Amino acid sequence: MASRQPQPVERRSFLLGNPTRSLIPMGMATLLPDAAQRVRHLEAMIFEGFGRWGYREIIPPTFEYLDVLSTGLPAETLEKCYKFADWTTGRILVLRPDVTAQIARIVAMGMAGQGLPLRLSYRTTVFRYEPEHAGREREVFQLGVELIGVDQASMDAEILTLLVESLKTLGVSDFKVSLGHVGFYQGLLAKSGMSPQGQKQAEIAAAHKDIPNLERILKWEKVPSTLSKAILEAPGRYGREEVLEWGRRVAGRDLRLVKPIERLTQVYRLLEGTGIQEHLLLDLGEFRGFDYYDGIVFDVFSGKVGCELGGGGRYNHLIGRFGRELPSTGFALDIDRVFHALDHVSSEQILSSSSVLLMSPHVRYGEAFKAAQYLRSKGLTVLQETLSSPASSQNRVARKRAMEASVGWLVLLGHPRTKSQAFVAIRMGAKGNPQRTLRLEELPGLIQKETHASD
């Protein structure tokens, strides 16, 4: 990491002189101001898009009772939870390990009576234990959506289209969505007569494209060679139309295989109409890392990041574990990984070109404060600082400070060559940094006009 260009999100730091002792717990995040500003900027862009599609934000609790939430969590996720005792009741609490299970509980226990479908969005952090050598974070910043209450191909297509459009809006161009249906491969394994344990092991091997291990499992389970061939080929069947054709041939008249292929075909046809098929790859060996998915599933990958940026899929029976059955689908994005997949994010893209550094001598601090408040009331971002340098060098010092602060404008009150009530406005980054002398009331109009003209 140190040999590469600086990354936007600092993940780890160490005590000076003692590199073996971590300053913060391993896998936990520290976002410094520049990184935090960029993260909030990305969140705002994504959430603006979610809102335009009708998704309303929900804020789940940071921890829950383990015995309640465990109903919706896979065994492997339960093993990675951070657990502790509630001082009041003595019951075991768990730090949020998965948002989808939380929302399933919330909907089943408090929102199931509302009009369907429900469109919910969230931005939060999940916590899961990962070994230090795993290369994964234990604290993950996630943004996502859930579409609850309708089991239709059009709803699957909406979620996938929203995912692709969200990434494109952020400026991520190099990505593919691996799209499949867990029912197809599970149908193949069920047809083979394998034991439940063998089926689970085969699913894991297929998800990791570990064909040698998959071969060993099939031999141990004594699966007939005719079925073994399809089971071994499916994880390598990814592409577009040809994948569906192969799936139909293998399915024959077996409804356990026909139904998943028909649903996958329906969704793919709908997505062709949205124009996002260039980002899609059909994958009949696609699995998600949670056992509650039971339909269309997908992961999104970028050539710039060595792991998935996010993913999701359909979970028609998860909410039923907490009460009322409600078919649902959704996705989540890892905001840190999305960051690393961006083509380019600079301070200039994040900071407003209309931001202002207002500087004055100490003796005029009160006047400068009132001026700063006036500019803020007009929608401008204003940093207020004082000048203590001699009058002869104030202009040079102020310009240097404005460059360090990365603001669009430098405004001086009490400039030695102007009237006492006049302000000097200097547009940073403009050729020659021209300066103008104005009254306070003229500043917002000038700044906004020139900022919009440059945009």
Q: Which two tokens stand for residue 390?
A: 């001699």
Q: Both 156 and 300 in a single domain?
A: yes
Q: What is the pLDDT of residue 15?
A: 30
Per the DSSP assignment, residues forming a β-bridge with 144 are 122, 332
Q: 341, 367, 394: which is the final residue of a domain?
A: 341
Render pLDDT for 283-311 as a digit per residue (tens, 0 to 9): 988 776 557 899 999 999 998 887 899 99
Q: What is the pLDDT of residue 352?
A: 60
Q: Both 409 and 318 in a single domain?
A: no
Average pLDDT, the chain: 86
Which domain range does residue 449 map to?
351-454
In 3D space, the residue among 83, 80, 50 whose CA is nearest the CA of residue 67 turns out to be 83
Is 47 domain-assigned?
A: yes
Q: Which two tokens stand for residue 109?
A: 């226990």
Q: 285, 317, 341: which is the final residue of a domain?
A: 341
For residue 261, which amino acid is it? I
Q: What is the pLDDT of residue 14?
A: 27
Is 224 domain-assigned?
A: no
Cα pseudo-dihedral 97, 99, 103, 109, rounded to 10: 10
**Count of structural domains, the chain:** 2
Q: Both 332 and 400 in a single domain?
A: no
Q: Both 358 and 317 in a single domain?
A: no
Q: What is the pLDDT of residue 16?
A: 35
Is 373 domain-assigned?
A: yes
Instruction: With both helix axes pointing from N to C terminus, report the angle between 225-233 and 211-220 in degrees, rounded to the nearest 10.
Output: 160
Q: Which two tokens stand for residue 403?
A: 């460059």
pTM recorded for the entire structure:
0.81
Q: Both 181 and 299 in a single domain?
A: yes
Is 207 domain-assigned?
A: no
For residue 104, which amino acid is it? A
Write a three-state SS string for the chain: CCCCCCCCCCCCCECCCCCCCECCCCCCCCCCHHHHHHHHHHHHHHHHHHHHCCCEECCCCCEEEHHHHHHHCCHHHHHCCCEEECCCCCCEEEECCCHHHHHHHHHHHHHCCCCCCEEEEEEEEEECCCCHHHCCCCEEEEEEEEEECCCCHHHHHHHHHHHHHHHHHHCCCCEEEEEEEHHHHHHHHHHCCCCHHHHHHHHHHHHCCCHHHHHHHHHHCCCCHHHHHHHHHHHHCEECHHHHHHHHHHHCCCHHHHHHHHHHHHHHHHHHHHCCHHHEEEECCCCCCCCCCCCEEEEEEECCCCCCCEEEEECCCCHHHHCCCCCEEEEEEEHHHHHHHCCCCCHHHHCCCCCEEEEEEHHHHHHHHHHHHHHHHCCCCEEEEEECCCHHHHHHHHHHHHHHHCCCEEEEECCCCCCCCCEEEEECCCCCCCEEEECHHHHHHHHHHHHHHHC
Q: Write down how long the chain is.
A: 455
Q: Both 140 and 256 in a single domain?
A: yes
Q: In this structure, how many other beta carbons lie within 10 angstroms of the beta carbon of residue 245?
A: 12
Backbone angles phi and psi of 67, in degrees to 5: -65, -25
Is 211 domain-assigned?
A: no
Is 8 domain-assigned?
A: no
Q: Both 72 and 139 in a single domain?
A: yes
Q: Which residues of 394-407 are buried (b: 16+ CB within 10 A; e: fewer)?
A: bbeebbebbeeeeb
Q: 292, 313, 341: which is the final residue of a domain?
A: 341
Q: Both 251 and 355 in a single domain?
A: no
Q: Both 80 and 185 in a single domain?
A: yes
Q: Both 67 and 169 in a single domain?
A: yes
pLDDT under 70: residue ranges of the chain = 1-22, 112, 132-136, 288-290, 343-353, 391-392, 416-420, 432-433, 452-455
Backbone angles phi and psi of 137, in degrees to 5: -85, 150
**Contact by Cβ (8 Å): 15, 80:** no
Q: What is the pLDDT of residue 174?
A: 86
Here the CATH number for the domain that contains residue 104 is 3.30.930.10
> What Cα–Cα distance (Å) separates residue 230 from each residue in 9, 205, 222, 284?
43, 15, 15, 11
Calculate ∠ Cα 367-372-378, nearest 5°: 135
Q: Both 333 and 279 in a single domain?
A: yes
> What Cα–Cα distance (Å) separates residue 442 from each residue in 68, 173, 402?
60, 42, 21
Q: Both 322 and 300 in a single domain?
A: yes
**Contact by Cβ (8 Å): 218, 202:** yes
**Contact by Cβ (8 Å): 345, 335:** no
